[in-house]
């Protein structure tokens, strides 16, 4: 679906929301669902920027953004699994 107004985009498809979730992930390494949510959103659809293309539709995250988010998600997962400082209960 092509959006023409940023207000029409659902909150989970907005670039600002997903960027904030990735930033929060940087602050809380052990809370993996934040980056996982962003990766799932990327793989099942587009993330929209608050900028317009020449045809009037909103711009979407490009291939490089998707790769960067997927790599970030993989690093977070690896840190969660192989964290040597994790408490053993």
Give residue 29's pLDDT: 65
pLDDT at 36 over 90: no
Chain centre to alpha carbon of residue 85: 26
Strand locations in 6-88 (E) = 48-52, 58-60
What's the rounded Cα separation, in Å, for the pair 12 and 45?
A: 10
How much is the pTM? 0.76
Give residue 53's pLDDT: 93
Tens of pLDDT, residue by residue over 2-23, are 899 999 999 999 999 988 888 8
Reading the block at residue 58, the tokens are 């909103």
CB atoms within 10 A of CB 85: 5
């Amino acid at each position: 679906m092509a959006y023409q107004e940023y207000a029409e985009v659902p909150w989970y498809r907005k670039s600002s929301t997903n960027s904030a979730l990735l930033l929060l992930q940087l602050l809380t390494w052990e809370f993996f669902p934040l980056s996982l949510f962003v990766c799932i959103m990327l793989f099942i659809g587009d993330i929209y920027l608050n900028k317009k293309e020449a045809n009037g539709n909103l711009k979407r995250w490009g291939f490089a953004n998707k790769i960067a988010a997927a790599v970030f998600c993989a690093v977070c997962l690896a840190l969660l699994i192989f964290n040597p400082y994790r408490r053993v209960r």
